[in-house]
Chain A
Amino acid sequence: MNFQWLSRKKRAEELNEELESHVTMAVEDLVARGESKTAAAQAARRELGNFSLLKEVTQDAWGGRWWRDLLEDSRHGLRILRKNPGFTAVAALTLALGIGANTAIFSVLDSALLKSLPVAHPDELVVLTDPDAHGGQFGSQTGDRSLLAYSEFEYLRDHNDLFAGIFAADSSLPDVEVNLGDSSAGSGGKKQIDRIKLVTGDYFAILGVKPAAGRMFGTEVDRARGGSPIAVVSYVFWRQRFGLNPSMLGRTIRIRRTSFEIVGVAPPEFFGETVGEAPDIWIPMMMQEAIYPGRDLLSPSPQGITNQHMWIQVMARLKPDIPLGQAKTRINVVFKRMLESASGSAMTAAEPRNYLDQRLNVQPGAHGASTLHAGFGTPLLFLMVLVGLVLLIACANVANLVLARGAARQKEFAMRIAIGAGRTRLIRQLLAESLLLAFLGAFAGVVLAYWADTLLLRVASQAATRPGAIQLHLIPDLRVLGFTLGVTVLTTILFGLIPSLLVTRPNLSPVLKSATVGVTGEPVRRRLPVGKMLVVIQVAISVVLLVAAGLFVHSLRRLSQVNLGYNRENLLLFQVNATAGGYKGAAGTRMYQQLLERISAIPGLRGATVSHNGLFSHSESGDPIAVEGYTPKPNEEMDAAFDHVGPGYFSTMGIPILMGREIGLQDSSARVRGGVINETFARRFFPNVNPIGKRIRDTYPGNPADMEVVGVAADAKYNSLREETPPRVYAPLFNPMWEQAAAIYEVRTFADPSSVSAALRKAVEETSSSLPAIEIHTMAGLVDGSLETDRFVEKLSGAFGVLAMLLASIGLYGIMSYTVASRTRDIGIRLALGAEKENVLWQVLRETLALVLIGTAVGVPLALGGTHLVKSMLFGLGFADPMAILFAATVLALVAAVAGFLPAWRASQVDPMVALRHE
């Protein structure tokens, strides 16, 4: 029988038997030669030598030593961990917090920024538009195109032979009212708000997405406008609204005023082409009218090629033999040809140069488009750094714990080294123990991370203006698990290696001789500085984190106190869309006027007005201008921001008029259009001149308009608290310079805004029943909504600061307890010789505070350096914000006092007699 196939145990037994038989035979020979039986037995055994060593060396020849050692170490490690549940629990929990926090942030980072789209071969995809651009632009652009118009997409699609496929998708994700019909099964007749994405026919085919049920639509839906009222729904939609009932296929739902038939379901992990969005329903782009009624976004703009409506993202799949660079060059040739054929006599001499200077920046599209990259990219990376620091603190804590335990096991190690264990072998074993501990912590940490991530997303979403605005599928994937594994190994090295090296230092005789380590002092004293150094590092890192938290809290407070330039209290805003209601041109303006009159008649209002862009409503207008009496310098851009406002806008909003008057009723019909400029405009274009009466011309090609300045208003923040106010021109809404598709009403109430909501809705309905239902927002809510990223970062950095402080205080407590415990005899002697208890207490406390002081001294410069790096995220803070540093130092001092107090108290309570007898 082949020896090799036997189990290890059997082989060991056989070896035993073999060696025994050897001894027996040797004894027989010796006896035959005349030795006595006992003498022969002794001689034979002696000749054999060290029996167990012999067996071990022989077993080595069987190979697999490395693996065996690992198993043995693991089993031994598990036993050690089980025998010390207190140590294991604390260490594992600390590690779980550190590793868990890192995994949580990384998995958000991964989902938001790193993961590829859940489609077939995402590396073959490219984006022709700007993946961070969303919404719609009306007008023209130079340079790299952010978004495209539908007619432009059609041209590219029909004239391209270099992509395997090209598709377009709406760059926004509107919330639309959906009625699930009134059949019995499922949810009958219920209306809800769903997110709808318009896409072209081969969207699913090019992405390579197969339906989970039913079928996807194809290029046949691109033929006729309004001809394919079919829809593909998301898996979540199917599950939540219909409980995965297959009868949903073929059912009709009503989106706004059009009925759609559900033909298919997308697979569960598919969320579309934009990271951060998760549409409920996909419908063909040719059905655009149903989603954006009253507008034609598919035909070329009748106002000329310089007044395009650009609103779609375009992506394509590369052909295998045409790489990205080549595809980019070639598609730009096609694009240029399109621009040239579109331009022509409709433009003056200067315009073509700007118009033809447009390009398609073709980028790799494996990550698709993103609503998160722009806003959350830097904050997430910053949070990763913070959370990495927390991990360092956690590792330092565990390292100290391991050191302390190692000291207790000194004798065990000394013994083992004395009987011949190699130092490397011991270190390997200790590292295996540490690895086990780390894996334990990592396992708990991953569970913690999953829970924390759900919480995190909820916090982030709540802070956003629209609940559910941030949609991320946090499915742990290989990359996240790989990251966790890497972090676990790293933490093991960090907290396991140094203690292992220290604890196995061969200084054996004092250890073996003495009953306690503390008395002889040598090994302890050498180890203590390491423990203290670790605590100092912990304190330093805590300082950095606390300072960071403090800075963000401070920055956020400053941001929310920024003077908007107008009064945000008790102000309601809602948008009314004239084109959606079927109004065009002057009829729209008249409708706005009527509605304003009706609203002003509502009792209990302090004021009501209307404007085109509203405030903090993600809307902005701008045009090139010419100013009377102002000669532009060479290469100076003559642009201004614009807005159209109704009468009494400035007084209703609380924007002070610095010169002249505000826009009033008389401007609705004046022959010469009156306009108001803001302070920045006056300072820049009328530096030493009275601007009243001067003329400004909007020089946008194809839509020139004139106006005369009648007043100067103070600056106001339009869309962001951080923005630098541009020069702005306010034109009368009721005598507009161009057609206003939509307008935003601002209504100021006396008290609780919500009491007026019903009256407002009624006013809108009475003015025109064709207008879609309005969504009412409060000004305060909108402004807060703009701070969602800042608040997110502030909350998290605050949480990490607290976590760091907690861990550091545990570390402090631990090291001081250990110090006190190891010095019990000294303290006892001192007390016995007459020292005051208070002195002992104070001395220990002093030591604690000294550690904290050193840590703070090290941490503050680090914090200052770090602040410099993240200045871009902070608002209005100087280089060294003393408040934050003071705050951090005070908090830490308090924490140190508390953490150090208990050990200090215990030290002072030491009974000298007990201490003197203490081993």
Chain B
Amino acid sequence: MAKQQYRNRIELLQGTLDLMILQTLQWGPQHGYGISVAIRNRSGEMLQVDTGSLYPALHRLEKQKWVAAEWKISENKQRAKYYRLTAAGKRQLAQERSRWQQLTEAIGGVLNSAKNETEP
């Protein structure tokens, strides 16, 4: 039962979560906690990234070679694993962004036309 929940959450966010992680890393290498904070802030506290989805996503991205990881000392003098975007990751990010753009335009088109129809 519990496992099902995780799966569903990951699936819902998988495409978009990957996109947001890659975008966040665009602005420089970051560790997992930092990425979740960044996404929370940048979305205006709307998107709280569930840790249970974040780390699987990060490791998956690493397996795909879109990000690369390195252990470094963080701001508060602790060891943390920093992720950075690779060249392939950059290309993937651009692709995902354009796909997202197309998707939003398409949905927007449907919503706008509907709006027009229902207006008197």
Contacts and interface: CB of A to CB of B under 8 A. Distances in A.
Interface of A: 1-4, 14-15, 17-19, 21-22, 24-26, 28-29, 47-50, 53-54, 57-58, 60-63, 420
A54 B52 contact: yes
B98 interface: no
Given A58-B59, A60-B56, A62-B63, A22 B51 contact: yes
Contacts of A14: 71, 81
Contact of B69 (A3, A26, A47, A58): A3
B52 A22 contact: no
Nearest to A4: B63
A25 B80 contact: yes
Smallest CB-CB A-B distances: 7 pairs = A61-B60, A61-B59, A25-B33, A49-B52, A22-B33, A18-B81, A58-B56
Nearest to A11: B59
A18 B32 contact: yes
Contacts of B42: none
Contacts of A60: 56
B56 A57 contact: yes
B90 interface: no
Nearest to B7: A57
Nearest to A63: B63
B63 A18 contact: no
A58 to B, nearest CB: 5
A26 B63 contact: no
Given A3-B62, A4-B63, A53-B2, A21 B80 contact: yes
Contacts of A61: 56, 59-60, 63
A681 B118 CA distance: 112
23 contacts: A1-B70, A3-B62, A4-B62, A14-B81, A17-B81, A18-B32, A21-B74, A24-B78, A25-B33, A25-B34, A25-B76, A25-B80, A48-B52, A49-B50, A49-B51, A53-B6, A53-B52, A58-B55, A58-B56, A60-B56, A61-B56, A62-B63, A63-B63
Given A22-B31, A25-B33, A53-B2, 19 more contacts: A4-B63, A17-B81, A18-B81, A21-B33, A21-B74, A22-B51, A25-B34, A26-B33, A48-B51, A49-B51, A53-B6, A53-B52, A57-B6, A57-B10, A57-B52, A60-B56, A62-B59, A63-B63, A420-B2
User: Which of A1, A17, A22, A48 is most buried by chain B, counting CB atoms within 10 A of its CB?
Assistant: A22
Nearest to A54: B52
A63 B55 CA distance: 15
A61 B14 CA distance: 13
A60 B56 CA distance: 8
B78 A21 contact: yes
The listed residue with most B CB atoms (<10 A of its CB), out of A21, A62, A420, is: A21
B115 interface: no
A17 B80 CA distance: 8
Given A21-B80, A58-B56, A62-B59, A47 B1 contact: no
Contacts of A1: 70
B116 to A, nearest CB: 44
Contacts of B34: 25
A48 to B, nearest CB: 5
B11 to A, nearest CB: 12
A18 B31 CA distance: 9
Contacts of B81: 14, 17-18, 21
A19 B2 contact: no
Interface string B2-46: 110010001000000000000000000001111001000000000
A48 B80 CA distance: 17
A267 B100 CA distance: 72
Contacts of A15: 55, 59
Contacts of A4: 62-63
Contacts of A3: 62, 69
B12 to A, nearest CB: 15
Nearest to A49: B52
Nearest to B59: A61
A49 B53 CA distance: 10
A24 to B, nearest CB: 6
B63 A25 contact: no
A21 B31 contact: yes
B23 to A, nearest CB: 20
Contacts of A58: 55-56, 59
A151 B6 CA distance: 87
Given A53-B2, A420-B2, A22 B56 contact: no
A19 to B, nearest CB: 7
A3 B59 CA distance: 10
Contacts of A24: 78
A90 B78 CA distance: 58
Given A53-B3, A62-B59, A22 B32 contact: yes
Contacts of A53: 2-3, 6, 52
A26 B33 CA distance: 7
Given A3-B62, A3-B69, A61-B63, A18 B3 contact: no
B55 A54 contact: yes
A518 B11 CA distance: 44
A462 B37 CA distance: 87
Contacts of B62: 3-4
Given A18-B55, A57-B52, A58-B55, A28 B76 contact: yes
